[in-house]
Amino acid sequence: MTDPKQMLSLVADVGGTNTRVGLARGTALDQSSVTRFRNEAFDDLGAVLSAYMAERALEAVDGAAVAMAGPVRDGVAELTNLNWRIDLPGLRAVTGGTHAAVLNDLQAQGYGLTHIAPQNLREIVPGPTGDGTKVVVGIGTGFNIAPVYPTPNGAFVPPSEAGHVSLPVHSQTDLSLAAHVAQSHGFADVEEVLSGRGVENVYAWLRQEAGDPGQASANDIFASFSLGGDPFARATFEAFARVMGVVTGDIALNTLPTGGIFFSGGVARALGRHLLELGFREAFRNKGRFSGFMDGFAIHVIEDDFAALSGAAEHLVQAISASDIT
């Protein structure tokens, strides 16, 4: 049997628009091997992986791990917007690998935390870090969290679908936003505010509240915020940061991440350097008599494009070593 720490693995990070594929030796990702593919050019994920292996003149690898932006159950992952599906037998068949793993993309971010260099972490709130529980909070196309629990055999990162919990309501303003989201989408969940489309929802809500209805794309709202020409854009991200602080504070109390809170995803990265000026920290700390307690959590933004790929490799090696998969 190949030593898991030395085996050659194919790893993939499957998003809604693009898939990135690379090679890892044990847990060490070869960043130069990473190739990005446009999903729309392929019928399924198997075709993407086959194209990568042909490009690299690979007949087989020792193992393969796929991190997919969607729910994973019993080793089966589905990318609903493309109707893609991958399971363990299919992954073994297309890669020739003896070992295979499929996990949610945010789980992979959690497993990848130990591989992120300090320069790829933007500090938002200083605080203690260490070997305690950590949590990754993903804000991009969607919203989700991944608690990272330390164990003697490495990290344990359970899946979740935290983006679909109810949006917190603490004021008339919150109630108005929740009502707007519910009217448009049927249910006011966190993801309809804390995501790329959530930026658009908040912007439309503010325009409606002001009696000046209007809509804009998330990219245009970000651009207006950066240029300072649209007061609704600034107000959008102030409201966004407040909800982000409240929700993250709730997550911190639920998981007690003494090892730190780590934001990932395109929206989180774009807002990272603005979060404090937008009022994120005040909303995060606003927990009544527990406000002081909230200062015990360090908060960073992940600025490493390869974290999920490294995490997929880490998970595969851990799982083989623990004999969880064969």
CA–CA dist 113, 203 (Å, integer): 33
Helix pair angle (172-185, 231-255), 10° resolution: 100
Overall average pLDDT of the 254-272 stretch: 96
Domains of the chain: 8-115+305-321 (3.30.420.40), 118-302 (3.40.367.20)
Question: Residue 54's pLDDT is what?
Answer: 97
SS3 content of the chain, % helix, strand, coil (to 5): 45, 25, 30
Q: How far is CA 165 from CA 113, 137, 172, 228, 270, in A?
A: 25, 14, 20, 33, 24
> If you average pLDDT over residues 32-46, what whole number do you get?
96
CB 279 within 8 A of CB 239: no
Please tell me the predicted confidence (pLDDT) of residue 94. Answer: 96
Report pLDDT digits (tens) over 272-302.
Answer: 999 999 999 999 999 999 999 999 999 999 9
Residue range 93-98: average pLDDT? Answer: 95
Q: What is the pLDDT of residues 118-153, one digit of tens each?
A: 999 999 999 887 889 999 999 998 999 999 999 988
pLDDT at 324: 47
Question: What's CA 56's distance to the chain center, in Å?
Answer: 28
CA distance 181 to 243: 14
- Rounded to 5 degrees, φ, ψ at 25 are -105, 105
CB-CB contact of 264 with 307 (8 Å): yes
Residues 6 or more apart in contact with residue 293 via CB below 8 angstroms: 287
**What is the phi/psi pair of residue 306, to 5°?**
-110, 10
